Structure 1
């Protein structure tokens, strides 16, 4: 009977050994997976361009790829406002547009999109009109409002220091962004360098910038009202980005394009919206709009197509902005950006019985009693020449010496005509509210303009 305990003991030993092997298997497997992840995210050790989130957003240790000197430019012509890939990078890297920069640093500033942290190092190849090819050091700087998603709107600064080229001389040249790890690879992108120097006589011009249209945007009737009200308020040009539009809105925008009122740019960024990058890469659009308007706009208004900014005393926004700056003495102390507080005008609230016209802005006059604080849902107008980096609700970076201030609600308010409540449901309709009929000041003239535009648009769009 003594054999029974020995058998039980051996069975227990085998069970312990099996459990130990099981644990060791998963431990080794976990180490392998962790090592693979670390190697995937870590920049190549051969590269000497290192991203660093310091107070400036990046550090400038770079490497110049001398092998590219004298290389001929690509056979095709340079493009503008088209997302083009950067070849040879480990992570997706796209470039959209390029601009002359000489306010903060002598450079070509490229609007791009790539990985938020640990972006691939790149260099820039500049093709000058005199047939010189110059390889420039580059700094990759993510635009700050990226919501900590994997990919971000980005600036690539192609630095002209030690190149012998002045910033002004780059206008009209072509530039490519190339992976530093493969500088001899033929470039897969070529951009035209655009001018940013302000032209004379633009001080009182007001241009409007909006984020990309997506989800086949289809509110054509409201868009006519929005256009015509902003034109009454002094806007004379609009920059828009097309990810997807309905057929009626496409026809409507074509109508305004023919009048010279709209610059409509394609926007097909191959990064997954809201999962990998903030809504359609909208911060790349805002900042492209900033530099695209810089040479021709005295003021740039950054709003969405469900928002308008209405002054309380003046008839136009240009008059308001002029008056706000004139209040500062000396004029050199006047702010370069003005922020407007947001108030929701929910479309689910009842119509105003005193509405003087069948317009959204005339019918929907009930709003939040207490507008949001500055930088929370606010929108803004600014001098483009004095801005470096734009966000959605405020300016992230101004040029040295420039400043931004909030505008009191007794001077102007951002009217936000929102369809749905903020977080679903109907709870937004129970917030304290008040009736605000400021929009009625423009209702009669606006109705006339909307009716006239609808007649013209219907003739063209119905015929198509």
Structure 2
């Protein structure tokens, strides 16, 4: 395991995220060290969350979270380190990780962009994605870096310097190196690192939650909470803008304005926003609220939808001969072109269709 997160505000608990082989059921203990490497405490680690449906597959590294309840004053945790073990506690600080305190951002919106890896992202499209998120009012984006080309790293550094991107190193542990790993690890990690924000969005870097009216995401989320004061999270219908189809407006410079032909809103591959203060854990498409009265609901497509830009899903739609509509919503963002142009110039990025 490799990431360590401190969470919870009024109780002294620590949540640790790790990957384990599906057959692993060893009893784990929490060990804490102070800055001078004196053992503070050893206690039983209890499972906080795991994929029960997949957790017993012996061939996959599955995501699991443990919780450690630490009977020490919270101030002493700031100079302490923690680890999990199935043996005796080590006294070597190299075997431990620092405890991280989520930054409190009152009314803040954070976005979990999951994992970026091996050049799988187009730098130009990533620029468009970030600029749309900024226009929508997103305060922080968390992405895990599994190794990317310099063309994409330049874009990441640009948004790190602007303060919107938190880019965390990521690796896939264990042998053999091609063994399957649970993508939920990054999503669970986001819930803990971003716990200080009021809202956490969960979707990929080719997706956008777009309000139907000219308003920010914060406006949409607040209105939804007014309707449902006990809401813990809200799911969005998806419109698929299929890039395999010819662009409806090839004269446009931006992907989000070139492609306007889309499916109608579908209850497929839906994504969400949630309040971490009301949600225990989140996976790619699911939320797990704390006990009632907190609930989950769908946002009406008349209020906001998820725009997903992707090639045709041949395994799902065949030749993609599906009912479509034209959606011109993205033309609302008139200064998006100028913002993207500035970012392209700063990162030496060109769109693929520029020749």
TM over 0.5: yes
Give the whole-Å Cα distance in 2 for the aligned partners of 1:115 and 1:458: 42
SS at match of 1:224: helix
Among 202, 213, 216, which residue is 1:313 paired with? 213
Greater radius of gyration (CA): 1
Paired position in structure 2 for 1:28: none
Partner of 2:239: 343
Q: Of residues 329, 332, 336 in structure 2, which corresponds to 1:446? A: 336
Aligned to 1:455: 345
* Deviation (angstroms), 1:171: 4.0
Q: How does 1:62-461 map to 2 (within 5 A)?
A: 94-101=1-8, 106-128=12-34, 131=38, 133-141=40-48, 143-144=50-51, 147=54, 149=57, 150-160=60-70, 164-166=71-73, 169-179=76-86, 182-183=87-88, 189-196=95-102, 199=104, 202-203=106-107, 205-271=108-174, 276-278=179-181, 281-295=182-196, 297-328=197-228, 333-353=229-249, 357-369=252-264, 371-373=265-267, 376-398=268-290, 401-423=293-315, 427-442=318-333, 444-458=334-348
Report the alpha carbon displacement of residue 114 of structure 1 after superposing the two structures with TM: 0.8
CA distance 1:172–1:342, change in 2 (3 Å)? farther
Name the structure where helix makes up a greater proportion of residues. 1
- Structure 2 residue ranges without an equivalent (≥5): 350-355
State the Cα distance separating 1:438 from its structure 2 match: 1.6
Of structures 1 and 2, the one with the larger relative CO (CA 8 A, separation 6+) is: 2
> Structure 1 residue 300: deviation in Å?
1.3
What root-mean-square deviation, in Å, do the aligned CA atoms of Structure 1 and Structure 2 show? 2.7
For residues 118-164 of structure 1, give each alpha carbon's deviation from its aligned partner in whole angstroms, at most 9, with x where no partner exists: 4222111112458552111112355227745432111121233xxx4
Q: 1:265 to 1:405 in 2, by over 3 A?
A: same
Ranges in structure 1 where 5+ consecutive residues have no aligned partner: 1-93, 460-464
CA shift, 1:345, in A, is 1.0
State the Cα distance separating 1:275 from its structure 2 match. 6.8
Question: How many residues align structurally?
Answer: 344
TM-score by length of 2: 0.87
Higher strand share: 2
